[in-house]
Amino acid sequence: MLRAWRIALVFALLAIATAVAAQAIDPLPFRDHAEELRFQHLTSELRCLVCQDENLADSNADFARDLRHKVFELMQQGKSDAEIKQYLVDRYSEFVLYDPPVNAGTWLLWFGPLLILLAGGVAVGYTIRKRSRAGTPATPTDTGDDW
C-alpha cells in the first residue's frame, strides 16, 4: 500500500515538473488556449539548431527563444503551420524538421527498418523450409551450438 502511494507521489511530482517546464520558458501573449496549443505543437516538431537533440518548445537556448518568437510572429501574421515550416526550411534546411519528409534523401531512413524486417522474415522463412524439408522436427534438437 505504502509502495503504491510512493509511486503515485513520484508520478504526481513528475507531472508537476513537466507542466512547470513547459510553461517556464517564456510567456507569449496568446489570444486563447487553442492558439497556445497550436504553438506548443508546432514548436515541438521543430529542432533547436544549437542544441540538436532538443526541440524548439523545450529548449532554453537563447537562439531557440528567438526562433520561437519568430514562429509566434508568423502565427500572428496568419501563416499556416505548413507555411511557417516552409519558412524555416527555406532558411535552415529540412534539418529543422523533427519529422523528416519522405524524399530521395530520406527514403532509406523511412523504409530501412521495414527492409531489415523483410530480410529477417525471408531468412526465418528460408530456415524453416529448409528444416522441414530435411525432416527435422519442429522442436529444436541439439545442433552442437551451445550459445
Partner 1 sequence: MSRLLPLLGFVLLATLLGFGIWWNSAHDPTAVPSPLINKPAPAYALPKLDDPAQTVTKEAMLGKPYLVNVFASWCFACGEEHPVLMAETQGLGIPVVGYDYKDDPNDAKAWLAKHGNPYSLVIADESGHTAIDFGVYGAPETFLIDGKGVIRYKRIGPLTPDVIAQQLKPAIAALQKEAP
Distance of CA 11 to the CA centre of its chain: 22
5 interacts with partner 1 by CB under 8 A = no
| Closest C-alpha to 74, from 25, 101, 35, 27 | 35
25 interacts with partner 1 by CB under 8 A = no
Among 41, 91, 129, 130, binds partner 1 (CB under 8 A): 91
Span of 1-9, 15-23, 32-40, 89-97 interacting with partner 1 by CB under 8 A: 89-97
28 interacts with partner 1 by CB under 8 A = no
| Closest C-alpha to 34, from 42, 44, 25 | 42
Span of 2-10, 28-36, 38-46, 60-68 interacting with partner 1 by CB under 8 A: 60-68
Q: What is the 3-state secondary structure (H, E, C) of 32-98?
A: CHHHHHHHHHHHHCEECCCCCCCECCCCCCHHHHHHHHHHHHHHHCCCCHHHHHHHHHHHHCHHHEC
Shortest approach of partner 1 to residue 95 CB, angstroms? Answer: 5
C-alpha grid cell, residue 42: 508546432
126 interacts with partner 1 by CB under 8 A = no
60 interacts with partner 1 by CB under 8 A = no
- Cβ(74)–Cβ(60) under 8 Å? no
Q: How far apart are CA 84 and CA 39, in angstroms?
A: 11
Between 6 and 130, name the residue whose CB sits nearer to partner 1: 130
Q: Write out the binding residues for partner 1, residues 61-80 only, by CB under 8 A.
A: 62-63, 66-67, 70
Interacting residues with partner 1 (CB under 8 A): 49-50, 52, 62-63, 66-67, 70, 89-93, 95-96, 143, 145, 147
